[in-house]
Homo-oligomer: A and B are copies of this chain.
Amino acid sequence: MRETAGKQAQYGAGERRVKTRDRILQAARELFNEQGEAHVTLAHIGEHLGISEGNVWYHFRTKHDLILALFAEVQQRVKAQQQRDLSHLRQLSDVRDMFVEEFHLMWEYRFLFQDHVDLIVTLPELHEQLVEITMQGHAYIKRVLARLCLIGLLQIKNSEMDPLATNIWIINRYWIDYCQTRSKQRQVTEQDFQEGMQQIRTLLLPYFTSGLGGRTLMNGEAG
């Protein structure tokens, strides 16, 4: 959220507190992603931001509070994405944009998805929330596939709907992790995201009602 100087002055200390909280969340997310959650302490986060550990502690008493706050953030963003009206899905380029957006979200919060085994041991309540994200993700992909069938772009047998949705979810969910273990380069680029899309296209290819769709989905032309 960008604020003007005037607004900052108006809100005063309260506003600064809110902004510090946001800065802590962002720094924590970045450090957890870069260094692994287990290797980062509240002191590191304070040091990274040039503020005291006490100031971090004022906003988050424990690292667990921080992790849960970051998980709430990602849940809210996933929910916002998934509650969108799918009637806007009229062409395959819309689907491509949707999946690329998902890849970006997974990248921004990758420590939650990659360190989750470790996290679940210390924060068992996270497991339930991860299960919820998985189930919602699966249901959402099924709704997208149903929509693409409805508008005649895809044709999928009922019996194949669930396994196909599961495969799409797994490729979408683990693509970043895969990219980081197929090369020594841990940074994932926009090109990797595009390639992830190509993998999802490979999954959909057998179900296109015409040869056109597959090409369109890849090349970003209107479908």
Q: Which residues of A are in contact with B by a Cβ distance under 8 Å?
A: 35-39, 111, 114-118, 120-122, 127-128, 130-131, 133-135, 138, 160, 163-164, 166-167, 169-171, 173-175, 177-178, 180-184, 186, 198-199, 202-203, 205-206
Contact = CB atoms under 8 A, between A and B. Distances in A.
A39 B123 CA distance: 13
Nearest to A135: B182
Contacts of A134: 178, 181-182
For the complex formed by this chain, how many copies does it contain in all?
A: 2
Given A36-B118, A39-B121, A111-B117, A178 B173 contact: yes
7 contacts: A120-B186, A127-B181, A131-B182, A163-B198, A167-B199, A170-B175, A171-B171
A211 to B, nearest CB: 13
A120 B180 CA distance: 11
Summarize A's interface: helix, strand, loop or mixed.
Answer: helix
A138 B178 CA distance: 11
A150 to B, nearest CB: 22
Contacts of A198: 163
B167 A171 contact: yes
B174 A170 contact: yes
Contacts of A183: 131
A133 B181 CA distance: 9
> Which of A128, A164, A181 gathers most chain B CB within 10 Å?
A181
